Amino acid sequence: MIIDHDVIILGTGLAGLRAAVEIACKSGDMVNMGIVSKVQLMRAHSVCAEGGTAAMLREEEGDNLDLHAWDTVKGSDFLADQDVVYRFVETSPQEILLLDHWGLPWSRTDDGRILQRPFGGHSYPRATMAADKTGFFEMQTLYDTLTQYKNFTRYDEVFATSIIAEKGRFCGVTMIDASTGEFNVLRGKVLLIATGGLGTLYGFTTYSQTVTGDGQAMAYRAGLALEDSEFLQFHPTGLVPSGILMTEACRGEGGYLRNKNGDRFMEKYAAAKMEVAPRDIVSRAEMTEIIEGRGFEGPKGLDYIHLDLTHLGADKINHRLPLIREVTMKFLGLDPIYEPIPVRPVAHYSMGGIEADINGKTKMEGVWAAGEVACTSLHGANRLGANSTAECLVWGGFAGAEIVKYLGTNPGIPDMPADRVEEEEKRIFQDMLMRDGNENPYQLRRELREVMDFHMGVFRTGDEMSAGLEKVRKLKERFNNVNIQDKHRIYNSNLINTLELENMLLLAETMIVAALAREESRGGHSRRDFSKRDDVNWLKHTLITPTDNGPKLDYKDVTITKWKPVERKY
């Protein structure tokens, strides 16, 4: 079946919904949108965002746009494009007020103002919060706003398999409808990719298990470059052993990190910021404590340190961190009012993604990208906490507005090359589904995650990464002999999981190739064999594109408008 829309939005998290609202607001009901989600719409991973959304709201109290921009640039280890950063900090306050206007129940001060809390790497408490369920309330508010319009069709539980383009112009998306098993095509004038991150490449991760990098992988196969793939953020506080996020708000509200001796060890690593230093610095500090024997012994090698909230008191925990208390009690039988929480660094966020310009436009005509799947060069080598949900809102708005402008040029829906559609359907339902191999896709996925956990962690070396790359390439070979036991079409999660694995293997290879080439330590990419930042050779963005011989590396300059790189101290 071929279905036509003016705009196709892949992904229904914060960026996708914000763009849909912008398109609807700016066009009335004149633009027809198809909104595609691999899960039920409101189950996008954005609902898991907890701690806050960064925005400068308190200029009269000492915050300002320059300070937010400087914090972001310094936090990025000077790899962020500074023109992008400045546009971001200028726009994020408008997004907070817009959501307030649309009815988001922000937490409030006693005098009724929107409440903000400290977050890592920020010089001012600018993480705008809705208790510790910020992403959930943002998602709910955006969807409630979108339902006031009638110009969209929802495609829930639909798995997109490929982006089809001809002569550099977007044509359409192929997809499997899980509920019917049908292989359908959405044609469109415009595509917005807003599919989120790729963190389930790792075993110990904060991500929902559906976050498998599909958008990045499809874009890469379609010929778009991935930028800064080597920079994967480890959040300092993943709950042991599950990896569930213990929000940075725990430390923003005054929580302590302690080793097994009871010491607040961050004094040794970032004395001025302590527990609210940037995430890359805190994660390295924690791993150093664990490696040097000052951690607690954990299950399956997951040694940990303590996140101590006990001194905050019941009232503060219940009002500011209710979800954290609920999660720790439910998953560990531990009440953080009385006991410290076992945590360690956990795979959390992709600083890299599909190369996109300051408006989110890619180099393929008719294609934009927004949110975590995109790389507009905002985060550089390390993202500051609370800048991610703000990024989704800001670039969802930018992309939506630019798409409406583009549609005003009357681009038309391009013809879909039928042979490409037939080829993709045959690849999935004949070559893959009916393959009589002997490899279990779930075993391959487990092995991939073990490789990434071990070879691409907080600390890296060239030898370790080379060994990891060899293992990933062997897994890719074994994937060619995979066996999908369920041969039916309807709700075939076995098939979908295998297609996800194919995407994950591709992205693991690109990430390691990019990381091996970058012979320095910068932000989230920390190499023991190249332990210093090297601005002479590596103050540049990585670009990686597909060729018949594997991933090809190129580079482009960092945009510096105001601040030259300096030593990064906290």
Residues identified as active-site: 235, 251
DSSP 8-state assignment for residue 108: B
> Distance between CA atoms of 377 and 80, rounded to whole angstroms?
5
| Amino acid sitting at position 496 | I
Residues 380, 280: contact at Cβ < 8 Å? no
DSSP 216-257: HHHHHHTTPPEESTT-EEEEEEEETTT--B--THHHHTT-EE
> Distance between CA atoms of 26 and 22, rounded to whole angstroms?
6
- Residue 295: Cβ within 10 Å count: 21
> Distance between CA atoms of 379 and 37, rounded to whole angstroms?
26
342, β-bridge pairs: 306
Which tokens in the block code for residue 154?
Answer: 């929802």
The helix (H) or strand (E) run that includes residue 526 is strand 526-527
318, β-bridge pairs: none
Residues 280, 152: contact at Cβ < 8 Å? no
> Distance between CA atoms of 31 and 297, rounded to whole angstroms?
57
> Distance between CA atoms of 20 and 35, rounded to whole angstroms?
8
- SS3 label, residue 119: coil
Which tokens in the block code for residue 554?
Answer: 């190129």
Which tokens in the block code for residue 461?
Answer: 């070396």
Q: Which positions ≥6 away from 369 have C-beta within 8 Å?
A: 192, 193, 194, 215, 219, 353, 354, 356, 360, 362, 399
> Distance between CA atoms of 120 and 6, rounded to whole angstroms?
41
Which tokens in the block code for residue 16?
Answer: 């996708």
- Residue 251: Cβ within 10 Å count: 27
Which tokens in the block code for residue 191?
Answer: 């595509």
Q: What angle do the packed helices 462-479 and 493-517 form, to 10 degrees?
A: 150
The helix (H) or strand (E) run that includes residue 193 is strand 183-193
Residues 478, 439: contact at Cβ < 8 Å? yes
Torsion of CA 270, 274, 279, 281, to 10 degrees: 20
- SS3 label, residue 280: helix
Q: Max alpha carbon distance in the chain (Å)?
A: 68
Asked if the bond preceding 241 is cis, omega within 30° of 0, the reply is yes
Q: What angle do the packed helices 214-221 and 493-517 form, to 10 degrees?
A: 70
| Residue 261 falls in which region: left (phi positive, over 0), alpha (psi -120 to 50) or beta | alpha
Residues 250, 238: contact at Cβ < 8 Å? no
